Amino acid sequence: MSLGTGIVLFVVGAILAFAVNIQVAWLNLQLVGYILMIAGVVGIILGIVLITRRRTTTSTTRAAVDPGTGERVTRNTVDRDDPLV
C-alpha cells in the first residue's frame, strides 16, 4: 500500500463517517467510514516507513590487463541491498 492509497482511504472514510447522512438498514456507513480511516492511517504510516527506509548501494571498480592486447580494462559493478529493486 502506498502513501497515496492511504490518503485516498482516509479521505473516503472521512466522507462516509462525517458527510453522508444516508441510512442503510443492513450497513452502518459511519462505522465503515471509521474503518476506512483507520486503514488509511495504517497505509500512510506504512508508506512513510517505506519511503524513509535507507537503501544501500555498493559500487565496485576492478581493473585488469587484457592479455591479448595489453590494454587496461576496467569493470564497474553496482550491488544493491534493497530487496524491492
In this prediction, residue 56 carries a pLDDT of 62
Instruction: Evaluate if residue 82 carries a pLDDT over 50.
Output: yes
Length of the chain: 85
Instruction: Evaluate if residue 59 carries a pLDDT over 90.
Output: no
Count structural domains, the chain: 1
Beta-carbon count within 10 A of 36 CB: 20
Residue 68 located in a structural domain? no
Name the amino acid, one letter, at 77.
Answer: T
Residue 39 located in a structural domain? yes
Domain ranges, residue 8: 3-52
Residue ranges in 1-85 assigned as alpha helix (H)? 3-14, 29-52
Which pLDDT tens digit goes with each residue over 17-43?
999 988 888 999 999 999 999 999 999
Residue 60 located in a structural domain? no
Residue 10 located in a structural domain? yes
Residue 80 located in a structural domain? no
Residue 9 located in a structural domain? yes
In this prediction, residue 85 carries a pLDDT of 47
In whole angstroms, what is the distance from residue 13 CA to residue 28 CA? 12
